[in-house]
Amino acid sequence: MTTATTTPTTAADVPQVARKITTAIPGPRALEIQKDYDRYVTAGVGQHEPIFADSASGATITDVDGNRFIDLAAGIAVASVGNTAPEVTTAIQDQATKLLHTCFATTPYAGYVEVCKKLAELTPGSFPKKSILLNSGAEAVENAVKIARRYSGKSAVIVMENAFHGRTNLTMSMTTKASPYKAGFGGFAPDIYRVPFSYPLRDAFGADGAAAARAAIDKIRLLVDPGDVAAIIAEPVQGEGGFIVPATGFLEGLLTWAHENGIVYISDEIQSGFCRTGEWFASTHFAIVPDMITTAKAIGGGMPLSAVTGRAEIMDSVQRGGIGGTYSGNPVSCAAALAAIGIMEREDLPARAAHVGALADELLAPLAASSRVAEVRGLGAMIGIEFVKPGSLEPDGDIVRRILARAPQEGLIILSCGIYGNVIRLLPPLTISNEELTEAVRTLSAIAFEEMA
Distance CA 174, CA 170 (A): 6
Nearer CB in complex with ligand PLZ: 268/436: 268
Strand partners, 234: 267
For residue 417, the minimal CB distance to ligand PLZ (Å) is 9
CB of 24 to ligand PLZ, least distance (A): 27
Residue 193 DSSP label: E
Q: Closest approach of Cβ 271 to ligand PLZ, in Å?
A: 4
118, 123, 213, 276, 417 from 76: Cα distances, Å: 23, 21, 29, 11, 11
Q: Find the residue with minimal CB distance to ligand PLZ.
A: 137
**Rounded CA Rg of the chain:** 22
Q: Which is nearer to ligand PLZ, 216 or 307 (CB)?
A: 307
Q: Nearer Cβ to ligand PLZ, position 127 or 188?
A: 188
Nearest CB to ligand PLZ, comparing residues 296 and 440: 296
C-alpha–C-alpha distance, residues 174 and 160, integer Å: 8
By C-beta, is 177 or 352 nearer to ligand PLZ?
A: 177
Closest of 250, 292, 253 to residue 273, by C-alpha = 292
Minimum CB–partner distance for residue 90 and ligand PLZ (Å): 25
Give the closest residue to 125 by CA, choosing from 312, 345, 350, 291: 291
Tell me how far, at minimum, the Cβ of 419 lies from ligand PLZ, in Å. Answer: 14
Nearest of 430, 438, 413 to residue 53 by alpha carbon = 413
> Helix, strand, or coil here: 174?
helix
**At its nearest, how many Å lie between ligand PLZ and the CB of residue 269?**
8
Closest CB 167 distance from ligand PLZ, rounded Å: 6
Q: What is the DSSP string of 228-250?
A: GEEEEEE-SSBTTTT-BPPPTTH
Compare residues 167 and 202 and give the one whose CB is closer to ligand PLZ.
167
| Minimum gap (Å) between residue 58 Cβ and ligand PLZ | 22
Tell which residue, 124, 341, 146, has the closest CA to residue 132.
146
Distance CA 15, CA 442 (A): 10
Give whichever of 65 and 291 is closer to ligand PLZ, judged by the CB atom. 291
Q: Do 292 and 267 touch, CB atoms closer than 8 A?
A: yes
> What's the count of helices (H) and strands (E) in the chain, helices before strands?
14, 15
- Between 4 and 233, name the residue whose CB sits nearer to ligand PLZ: 233
Closest separation in Å from C-beta 16 to ligand PLZ = 29
Phi first, then psi: what are they for 273, rounded to 5°? -85, 175
End-to-end CA distance of the chain: 17
Task: Give the 3-state secondary structure of 18-55.
Answer: CCECCCCCCCHHHHHHHHHHHHHCCHHHCCCCCCCEEE
**Binding region for ligand PLZ (CB under 6 A):** 76, 136-138, 141, 164-167, 235, 239-240, 268, 270-271, 296
Judged by beta carbon, residue 76 or residue 359, the one nearer ligand PLZ is 76
